[in-house]
């Protein structure tokens, strides 16, 4: 195997063209086997193999610095920079993260996982080099899908004014996770059709130089162009056309499903343990059904349609009532405000971690204007994505402290559905819903269908001494903790707070009569969260409070159960802590 | 006066060309007098007079919908849409806000004040129209400076794919607040020089149609082109070249100073009550001085250099150590991360309200990577900008709940300077500083120069029974409240918490010995803030807590003193509330 000889980029420099071809083959082989067993990103890595070989052949990493956008295409890079074991040996598959990671290698400069950041980050490296008086090459590798993100476009504009070395490799595989969307892609299309000669060139319009490589899966063509731009004295875009999923038939044919993939059978491409996201399914079927009678219902995604069940088939069914704005969360939220103002009923769904892109738009474009847009916040839980760049545990501090927003926490799928219906029926408030993360019960616990009396909590069981407020996903934990307490003779009150964004002051006041401890349980970090609001409310009274949730911290690839234990987020542990407090 | 006859856009339709010219003159006259007495935005409004007349002559507002970006150029629009009294009669100057405002008029669609939102908001109105089956024109008016913002570029991309009516008026006055920055402006420059014919056309590259008007201060030329694009069936950009500040000599000559202006003498252009922002002055002089010996110090602004004292003269002095990325806050923060990683020492300064654009970049690009960028958060106080779109009271919940960030709250300018020096000396943490808003003392209270022992609060006076934590700007209030308490025989402990992002648990624990109430005072909203962290810490103990600060709400053009009274943010009122709690 060629790979046997590759322990770092320096081993690449002397390979022949045919050896590079063989090496590409070996890398795909290793990645295929690993993906079939371990799962992970697929299409982006299979498309970028030759470009990675070419980059490390021409440039001198880590002196020359390569910044990978999103970094879900970074597997070949990891293989070539000393981490091949994690792709070749099953027992080492988990030695590396799924993203670029400076803790793993000097060839990685940033830990990233959100899109559209590479140009901005690289522009900083370039300016630092210039202040230092250095001469290395700074390279950003960014996909066509990521180019639609505001941060990338802002970065392009800054780079377009810089007068020094900076190389942006546009990896154009004609896809985002799903198909690309936006006017710029007409331009990219023309560039592909004209061999880079079309005058509709976003990069030249932004002040950058430009090169085109028709076959971005041809290492030799890439090496030629990379050699030409190496040590260039001004910013240049190298536009390379690659095939997403290249080398594995099923991934070439269905690029969307194979962007990221669960473990599968290599022969058939069949998923080993099929999994249906019930919350996403419920959302898509409900919205599609509602569209039939409500022609002003508009569903928006920022390039993650599958996060809420909008498969390509369903997108077709929705027709012009569904819009994918591309990776452009700010646009999605602001557009939703415009839609609401214009009399439509907009729903924007995305993962909690990506809502982080939209703080200002939620605050300014939507909430100051009090336009009734609806936001579905998916995956918001510690039992969700556990890569540090994809944590979904910060949404409560971020969103629940924005005025005018009504942020709801359903405790079951049935309650989620009732809230979604209400949110779309009413036009008084911008509403966000923290979509349940399983396991929550599918049925039951829908006490009402009208949520317009804001900040009215539901007492689901009247007890005494201790009251437990179980927010959203953690309502079940509250019930189970109460059951543990029952064994010790404490008959606790159980409450479904329902509203994250406000306090039911009457109810909280009334608890003072016959309770001496109010406990909150929330599925996220405590800092800036729901429990702290309750603590402040009771601060000057005799009522004691205790907030269960996570410490403010960037957790990475954690074990869910261990983390739950560490923070007493298990019924027995929580009950024990409560008993300690009241004894 | 022509203006006498103008009570709404319909009165414009029958004017002759010469009457339009006269009207423009009258509008400038009214705005000049008002600005000289009242202050406010200047240059943007003086440049857009003819375009506003032309828009309201050709289009049928409010059926046709005009969305004004930032809306600091909206004075002529307000004059022509039924609100002229507020510009003609001194006693009515305050009847209108400085921004577009749906509460004032059916001709205003959104309350906005942050830049780069008009295209996104308008795209929502356009899609809503299409779902409704309507046929009106949707128009976004955006300045060239605002085009560099990510939200605007994302919006452009979405619009470029839409197949229906949408008109974007690019008001190119070759300025942001300061001069424009970014590669796209080379393209705009070429378009101006070639009469719109250059092939470096950002808008065509994004899939939009394009028209050019060389003299955007010629109503007749504008009317001609607006008539051509009215009812167009696809998205088009109308690029108009205008003169910022047109019609007032001083504003034409010094566009940056006259973007917004305080009351002045019309004859001389002299400010009536000159004002020096001490915190900004201190910042600029300190950084400029440090640059002399530290060649890796890089100062960044996102188009608001004056927010921290970087006048054009000082920008020149700073040379390549100062970079203005244009209106592109995401880029500024991510670039700062890259600079820090590359060994430079980046400082990015901006108003608190604009940091709202950068939640995800602070979290992902900077804090996950723990890169030691320094952020200076200006104006963060209730005693700061009081327009609803410019409130600077939400930064603590937004920023202080992001892991790894060290957010410092100096209690004097001297302490601010010590913190800034430390932040730049160290390379362990990303650091943000909540720059003091006056009145805080200039001198005194610098107890240390080293802040690396995180979350160690300073007890500035040891007392008993009551402890008051006075955060940053409100440290003075804490001291004055303690003085009031002293009169009633309470010798309170006074503490400078210094760190917003963490608790001094040892100190807090020690207070339990001889205190029964811990009071926090913070200059911002309480929800998600500092006081709630203290309340949670003591929640399960016998210690009582009380948090002074503002309720979560979008305040608008409020009276500072009244608001302070309403929330007991006056020494006597705070002392009374404290006494009530401990009696």
DSSP A8-74: SGGGGTT--HHHHHHHHHHHHHHHHHHHHHH-EE-HHHHHSHHHHHHHHHHS-TTTSEEEESSSTT-
- Asked if pLDDT for residue A11 goes beyond 90, the answer is yes
Residues A24, A51 contacting (CB under 8 angstroms): no
Sheet holding A138-143, edge to edge: A65-68, A138-143, A166-172, A235-241, A209-213
- pLDDT score, position B250: 96
**Separation of CA B151 from chain center:** 15
pLDDT band at A370 (very low <50, low <70, confident <90, very high): very high
Q: Which positions of B are catalytic?
A: 244, 329, 357
From chain B, the residues in CB contact with A303 under 8 A are none
Residue of B nearest to A328 (CA): B154
Mutate to test the interface with B, among A123, A124, A294, A357 (most CBs of B within 10 A): A124
Structure tokens at A222: 């890439």
Nearest-5° angle of CA B405, CA B410, CA B416?
95
Buried b (16+ CB within 10 A) or exposed e, B224-245: ebbeebeebeebbbbbbbbbbb
pLDDT digits (tens, 9 = 90+) for B53-90: 999 999 999 999 999 999 999 999 999 999 999 999 99
Nearest to A150 among B123, B154, B356 (CB): B154
3-state helix, strand, coil in chain B (%, to 5): 45, 15, 40
Backbone dihedral region for residue A183 (phi beyond 0: left; psi -120 to 50: alpha; all else: beta): alpha
pLDDT digits (tens, 9 = 90+) for A484-512: 999 999 999 999 999 999 999 999 999 99
3-state helix, strand, coil in chain A (%, to 5): 45, 15, 40
**Separation of CA B103 from chain center:** 21
pLDDT band at B420 (very low <50, low <70, confident <90, very high): very high
Q: Which three-class secondary structure state does DSSP give residue A519?
A: strand
* Of B399, B435, B475, nearest in space to B309 by CA: B435
How far is it between the farthest Cα atoms of chain B? 82
Whether A113 sits inside 8 A of B364 (CB atoms) is yes
Q: Does residue B456 sit at the A interface (CB-CB below 8 Å)?
A: no
Q: Which three-class secondary structure state does DSSP give residue B357?
A: helix
Q: Does residue B274 sit at the A interface (CB-CB below 8 Å)?
A: no
d(CA A151, CA A533): 33
Residues B280, B330 contacting (CB under 8 angstroms): no
pLDDT digits (tens, 9 = 90+) for B543-575: 999 999 999 999 999 999 999 999 999 999 999
d(CA A451, CA A418): 9
- Dihedral sign of CA atoms A62, A68, A72, A77 in order: negative
Q: Which positions of A are catalytic?
A: 244, 329, 357
**Beta-sheet pairing, A458-461 with A431-434:** unpaired
A and B: number of Cβ contacts within 8 A = 430
Backbone dihedral region for residue A26 (phi beyond 0: left; psi -120 to 50: alpha; all else: beta): alpha
- Asked if pLDDT for residue A204 goes beyond 90, the answer is yes
- Dihedral sign of CA atoms A32, A38, A42, A47 in order: negative
Nearest-5° angle of CA B299, CA B302, CA B303?
110
Q: In sequence order, what are the residues at sequence separation of 6 or more whose Cβ sits closer than 8 angstroms to the Cβ of residue A581?
A: A517, A544, A546, B540
HSE, CB side, 13 Å, CA atoms: give it for residue A380: 34
Task: Return the C-alpha torsion angle A249, A250, A253, A257, nearest 10.
Answer: -150
HSE, CB side, 13 Å, CA atoms: give it for residue B7: 1
Nearest to A531 among B326, B398, B536 (CB): B536
d(CA B30, CA B87): 6
DSSP assignment, residue A511? Answer: H
- pLDDT score, position A439: 80
From chain A, the residues in CB contact with B532 under 8 A are 528, 532-533, 535-536
- pLDDT score, position B566: 98
d(CA B201, CA B213): 15
From chain A, the residues in CB contact with B182 under 8 A are 157-158, 160-161, 206-207
From chain A, the residues in CB contact with B113 under 8 A are 364
pLDDT band at A158 (very low <50, low <70, confident <90, very high): very high
Residues B167, B238 contacting (CB under 8 angstroms): yes
- pLDDT score, position B362: 98
pLDDT band at A574 (very low <50, low <70, confident <90, very high): very high
- pLDDT score, position B583: 85
d(CA A327, CA A116): 8
Residues A539, B543 contacting (CB under 8 angstroms): no
pLDDT band at B215 (very low <50, low <70, confident <90, very high): very high
What values do phi and psi take at A40, rounded to 5?
140, -170
What is the mean pLDDT of the segment spanning A14-34? 98
- Chain A, 204 to 223: residues with Cβ < 8 Å from chain B are 204-208
- pLDDT score, position B117: 98
Helices (H), B114-213: 118-132, 150-159, 184-193, 202-205
CA distances from A570 to A297, A412, A556, A560, B261 (A): 40, 19, 21, 11, 59
Q: Which three-class secondary structure state does DSSP give residue B235?
A: strand
pLDDT digits (tens, 9 = 90+) for B318-348: 999 999 999 999 999 999 999 999 999 999 9
Query: CB atoms < 10 A from the CB of A233, how many?
Result: 8
* Of B73, B98, B74, nearest in space to B390 by CA: B98
Query: Above pLDDT 90, what percent of chain B?
Result: 96
Q: In sequence order, what are the residues at sequence separation of 6 or more whose Cβ sits closer than 8 angstroms to the Cβ of residue B330?
A: A120, A150, A151, A154, B150, B357, B358, B360, B361
- Chain A, 183 to 202: residues with Cβ < 8 Å from chain B are 183-187, 199-202
Q: In sequence order, what are the residues at sequence separation of 6 or more whose Cβ sits closer than 8 angstroms to the Cβ of residue A232?
A: A165, A167, A209
Residue recorded with tokens 């209108």: B96
- Asked if pLDDT for residue B173 goes beyond 80, the answer is yes
Task: Compute the nearest-CA separation of A516 from chain B (Å).
Answer: 10
Structure tokens at B286: 């300190």
Q: In sequence order, what are the residues at sequence separation of 6 or more whose Cβ sits closer than 8 angstroms to the Cβ of residue A102?
A: A108, A109, A110, A111, B369
Structure tokens at A308: 């809420």
Mutate to test the interface with B, among A64, A99, A127, A529 (most CBs of B within 10 A): A127
Task: Compute the nearest-CA separation of B363 from chain A (Å).
Answer: 9
ipTM: 0.98
Whether B342 sits inside 8 A of A132 (CB atoms) is yes
Mutate to test the interface with B, among A140, A158, A524 (most CBs of B within 10 A): A158
Domains of chain A: 3-261 (3.40.50.970), 278-434 (3.40.50.970), 458-582 (3.40.50.920)
d(CA B262, CA B271): 6
Partners of A260 in the beta sheet? A41
pLDDT band at A445 (very low <50, low <70, confident <90, very high): low
Whether A117 sits inside 8 A of B344 (CB atoms) is no
Cis link prior to A84 (omega < 30° from 0)? no
Residue of A nearest to B333 (CA): A120
Mutate to test the interface with B, among A64, A154, A369, A371 (most CBs of B within 10 A): A154
Task: Compute the nearest-CA separation of B248 from chain A (Å).
Answer: 32
Nearest to B359 among A342, A388, A398 (CB): A398
CA distances from B367 to A293, B129, B174, B364, B399 (A): 46, 42, 35, 6, 11
Helices (H), B342-394: 352-355, 359-360
Task: Compute the nearest-CA separation of A331 from chain B (Å).
Answer: 6
HSE, CB side, 13 Å, CA atoms: give it for residue B72: 25
Query: Above pLDDT 70, what percent of chain A?
Result: 100
Q: In sequence order, what are the residues at sequence separation of 6 or more whose Cβ sits closer than 8 angstroms to the Cβ of residue B92?
A: B85, B86
Q: Does residue B431 sit at the A interface (CB-CB below 8 Å)?
A: no
d(CA A242, CA A192): 11
Query: CB atoms < 10 A from the CB of A570, how many?
Result: 16
Whether A112 sits inside 8 A of B364 (CB atoms) is yes
Whether A401 sits inside 8 A of B535 (CB atoms) is no
Sheet holding A345-351, edge to edge: A322-324, A297-301, A345-351, A374-378, A431-434, A406-408
From chain B, the residues in CB contact with A525 under 8 A are 401
Q: Does residue A359 sit at the B interface (CB-CB below 8 Å)?
A: yes
Q: Does residue A13 sit at the B interface (CB-CB below 8 Å)?
A: no
What is the mean pLDDT of the segment spanning A334-339? 98
- Asked if pLDDT for residue B136 goes beyond 90, the answer is yes
- Asked if pLDDT for residue B178 goes beyond 90, the answer is no
H/E run at residue B388: none
d(CA A167, CA A169): 6
Partners of A298 in the beta sheet? A346
- pLDDT score, position B438: 80
Task: Compute the nearest-CA separation of B46 from chain A (Å).
Answer: 26
H/E run at residue A546: strand A544-550
pLDDT digits (tens, 9 = 90+) for A463-489: 999 999 999 999 999 999 999 999 999
Residues B156, B208 contacting (CB under 8 angstroms): yes
Residue of A nearest to B131 (CA): A296
d(CA B362, CA B395): 12
pLDDT band at A583 (very low <50, low <70, confident <90, very high): confident
């Amino acid at each position: 195997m060629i790979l046997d000889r590759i322990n770092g980029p320096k081993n690449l420099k002397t390979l022949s063209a045919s050896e590079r071809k063989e090496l590409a083959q070996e890398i795909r082989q290793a990645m295929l086997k690993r993906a079939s067993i371990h799962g992970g990103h697929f299409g982006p890595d299979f498309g970028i193999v030759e470009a990675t070989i070419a980059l490390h052949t021409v440039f001198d990493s880590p002196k020359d610095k390569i910044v990978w956008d999103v970094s879900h295409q970074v597997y070949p890079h990891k293989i070539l920079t000393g981490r091949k074991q994690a792709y070749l040996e099953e027992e080492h598959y988990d030695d590396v993260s799924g993203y670029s990671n400076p803790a793993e290698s000097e060839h990685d400069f940033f830990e990233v996982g959100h899109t559209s950041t590479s140009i901005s980050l690289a522009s900083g490296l370039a300016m630092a080099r210039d202040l230092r008086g250095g001469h290395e090459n700074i390279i950003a590798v960014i996909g066509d899908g990521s180019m639609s993100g505001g941060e990338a476009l802002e970065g392009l504009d800054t780079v377009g004014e810089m007068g020094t070395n900076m190389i942006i490799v546009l990896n154009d595989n004609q896809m985002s996770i799903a198909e690309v969307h936006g006017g710029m892609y007409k331009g990219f299309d023309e560039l592909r059709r004209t061999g880079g000669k079309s005058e509709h060139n976003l990069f030249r319009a932004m002040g950058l130089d430009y090169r085109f490589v028709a076959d971005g899966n041809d290492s030799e063509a890439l090496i030629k162009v990379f050699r030409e731009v190496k040590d260039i004295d001004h910013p240049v875009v190298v536009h390379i056309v690659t095939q997403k999923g290249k080398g594995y038939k099923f991934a070439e044919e269905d690029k969307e499903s194979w962007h990221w993939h669960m473990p599968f059978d290599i022969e058939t491409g069949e998923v080993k343990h099929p999994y249906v996201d019930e919350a996403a399914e419920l959302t898509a079927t409900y919205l599609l059904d509602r569209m039939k009678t409500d022609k002003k219902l508009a569903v928006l995604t920022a390039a993650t349609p599958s996060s809420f069940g909008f498969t390509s088939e369903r997108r077709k069914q929705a027709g012009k009532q569904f819009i994918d704005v591309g990776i452009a969360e700010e646009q999605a939220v602001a557009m939703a405000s415009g839609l609401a103002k214009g009399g439509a009923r907009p729903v924007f769904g995305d993962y909690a971690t990506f809502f982080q892109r939209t703080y200002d738009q939620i605050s300014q474009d939507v909430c100051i204007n009090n336009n009734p847009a609806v936001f579905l916040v998916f995956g918001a839980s510690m039992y969700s994505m556990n890569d540090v760049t994809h944590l979904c545990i910060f949404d409560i501090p971020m969103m629940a402290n924005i005025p005018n927003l009504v942020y709801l926490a359903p405790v079951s799928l049935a309650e989620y559905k009732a809230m979604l219906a209400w949110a779309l029926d009413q036009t008084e408030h911008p509403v966000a819903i923290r979509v349940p993360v399983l396991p929550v019960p599918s049925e039951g616990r829908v006490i009402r269908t009208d949520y317009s009396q804001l900040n009215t909590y539901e007492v689901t069981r009247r007890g005494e001494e201790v009251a437990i407020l179980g927010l959203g996903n953690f309502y079940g934990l509250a019930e189970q903790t109460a059951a543990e307490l029952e064994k010790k003779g404490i008959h606790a009150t159980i409450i479904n707070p329902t509203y994250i964004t406000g306090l039911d002051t009457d109810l909280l006041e009334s608890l003072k009569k016959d309770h001496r401890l109010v406990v909150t349980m929330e599925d996220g970090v405590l800092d800036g969260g729901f429990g702290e609001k309750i603590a402040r409310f009771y601060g000057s009274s005799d009522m004691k409070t205790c907030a269960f949730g996570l410490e403010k911290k960037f957790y990475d690839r954690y074990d869910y159960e261990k983390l739950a234990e560490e923070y007493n987020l298990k019924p027995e542990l929580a009950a024990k802590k409560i008993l300690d407090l009241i004894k």
